[in-house]
Amino acid sequence: MFLLPKLPYSYDALEPYIDAKTMELHHSKHHQTYVDKLNTALEATEWADKTIEEVLQNLSSLPEDKRTAVQNNGGGHYNHSLFWELMVPGGENSPSGELSDRIKVSFDSFEEFKKQFASAGAARFGSGWVWLLKDGNGVKIISTPNQDSPIMNGIKPLLGLDVWEHAYYLKYQNRRPEYIENWWSVVNWSAVAKRL
């Protein structure tokens, strides 16, 4: 049985960058629905008591009629649980230590990294996520559709950004690039660094 995690801050804590109403709907409705549908899909199977990571890394072993529901809703549960943890009221300006070094190896500068990450978010057609992953001595950016997640390939993402319209539409309407620009203000870089 999977449970909706409590947010580590209040719904209005990420204002003005992410508004309270969006956070409330996103957490208490969207994420809750992924959890509920995941539980329904896995009810009375051996997978109901595994960790979400185990389930998502073994999608091909699941009963075939459950696979799509678990990919979408299990992915949604994992991705959002991570997303909440990677934001913090007030944010932090930039990464430090090994994370900062890795970003410089791959992108030369933090500014260039942010530019490319934002471009990947803007370019994702429809709904999906943008991710930062480890890559050799550096890091790389990828994006995935729907609720697909690097964890489905056994890769633990360092950072993820939800670019579904439900993540920003109330405040930013169609202005996804503006949402992304503001989201940098609430990124919890120490939480990202801990995932290295």
Shorter beta-carbon distance to Mn ion: residue 13 or 48: 13
133: β partners = 140
Residue 127 Cβ vs Mn ion, minimum distance, rounded to whole Å? 8
Residue 26 Cβ vs Mn ion, minimum distance, rounded to whole Å? 6
Contacts of 193 (CB under 8 A, 6+ apart): 95, 96, 97, 98, 99
Q: Rg of the chain over CA atoms, in angstroms?
A: 17
Shorter beta-carbon distance to Mn ion: residue 103 or 132: 132
* Stretch touching Mn ion by CB under 5 A, among 114-122, 130-138, 158-166, 186-194: 158-166
Closest CB to Mn ion: residue number: 162
Contact assessment for residue 77 and residue 52, using Cβ atoms and an 8 Å cutoff = yes
Residue 144 Cβ vs Mn ion, minimum distance, rounded to whole Å? 13
* Stretch touching Mn ion by CB under 5 A, among 130-138, 149-157, 160-168, 186-194: 160-168
Size of the site for Mn ion (CB under 5 A): 3
- φ and ψ at residue 24, rounded to 5 degrees: -65, -50
Residue keyed to tokens 């120490």? 190
- Is 164 a binder of Mn ion (CB under 5 A)? yes
For residue 84, give the nearest of 145, 32, 148 by alpha carbon. 32
Contacts of 142 (CB under 8 A, 6+ apart): 120, 130, 131, 133, 150
Residue 111 Cβ vs Mn ion, minimum distance, rounded to whole Å? 27
3-state secondary structure of 62: coil
Shorter beta-carbon distance to Mn ion: residue 60 or 125: 125
Residue 8 Cβ vs Mn ion, minimum distance, rounded to whole Å? 17
141, 149, 162, 172: which one binds Mn ion (CB under 5 A): 162
Residue 63 Cβ vs Mn ion, minimum distance, rounded to whole Å? 26
* Residue 58 CB neighbours (<10 A): 14
Shorter beta-carbon distance to Mn ion: residue 70 or 167: 167
Residues in contact with Mn ion by the rule CB under 5 A? 162, 164, 167
